[in-house]
Structure 1
Amino acid sequence: MSVYAVTYVYAADSGTARDRARPAHRDHLQELRTEGAVLVSGPLPATDGEPDGALIVMSAPSAAEAIALLDADPFRRTGLVAEVSVREWVPVIGGFAA
């Protein structure tokens, strides 16, 4: 298994809808954590130059599979995520290092 950093950029003006969908979103991520796919996740707050989003660090056989595991995320299913990117990450120091 490889480790992947998945980032979300949230859709503009989606804060209220995300608040409503957040319990189901977190339940989905927790299920993936229980299965060993999600290692850690959390929000990326907006800054002056970047919109708000999230970082989800995942263990998966491929980048495509990491994204596929997140297809059922309520945030994605309901159009609250404007952009998704995935990139392999190779941790060498710390809790995720092999």
Structure 2
Amino acid sequence: MPTFVVTYTYSPDSERLDTVRPEHRAFLGALHDAGSVVVSGPLPPTAEAAAGALIVLEADDADAAVGLLDDDPFRREGLVTDLVVREWVPVIGSLNR
């Protein structure tokens, strides 16, 4: 099955992000348990980029990858200001350590 990388850019509303984060993590955890999410985690802010997240998942195509994340509480609450999805074809290494 194809692998996709999804990046989120978060809203600057850190208080709301903190409030919704447990539900967001439970949602992604359930997708991981179901075998769709391979790995995910936050992208800390830098001088050039706002805080966000990187989510690696397996899906039939890019639309299905985004569809898996439709019910993410962060998206539902408007806390994701930008979402980018790209197919990823790893050729060296493994996420399994």
Other structure's SS at 1:88 match: strand
Distance 2:71 2:16 in 1: 17
When normalised by structure 2's length, the TM-score is 0.94
Question: For residues 24 and 58 of structure 1, what CA distance do their matches in structure 2 show?
Answer: 19
Q: In structure 1, what residue type is equivalent to 2:21?
A: R
**Aligned pairs for 1:10-21 within 5 A:** 10-12=10-12, 14-21=13-20
Amino acid corresponding to residue 3 of structure 1 in structure 2 = T
Q: How many matched pairs?
A: 96
Letter in 2 for 1:39: V
Structure 1 gap ranges (5+): none
User: Residue in 2 aligned with 1:66?
Assistant: 65
Q: State the match for 1:93 in structure 2.
A: 92
- Rounded to whole Å, the distance in 2 between the matches of 1:77 and 1:94 is 34
Give the % identical residues: 51
The alpha-carbon deviation at position 42 of structure 1 amounts to: 0.5
CA–CA separation in structure 2 for the residues paired with 1:30 and 1:96: 17
State the Cα RMSD in Å: 1.2
In structure 2, give the amino acid aligned to 1:50.
Answer: A
The answer for unaligned runs of 5 or more in structure 2 is: none
1:37 alignment counterpart = 36
* Per-residue deviation, 1:96: 4.8
Q: Deviation per CA, 1:40-95, whole angstroms, max 9, x where unpaired?
A: 00011111111110000010000100100001000000000000010000011222
Aligned to 1:9: 9
Residue number in structure 2 paired with 1:56: 55
C-alpha distance in structure 2 between counterparts of 1:63 and 1:19, whole Å: 28
